[in-house]
Structure 1
């Protein structure tokens, strides 16, 4: 069970990191929407 949690967390971190690498600024799109 713990191994399943570990693997899911690791894959989620990789997905989030790939998403963040696509940002053009130093902050996310939700923060940018508040400033605009």
Structure 2
């Protein structure tokens, strides 16, 4: 029995700890985990 092809994900989100102060002011409105 063959399984259908499953596409591999192109991107991944890596949860990260901390406040993201080095990324200010970008992290004032967007969580650090969602920054590109």
TM-score range, shorter chain: under 0.3
Structure with higher helix content: 1
Bigger Rg over Cα: 2
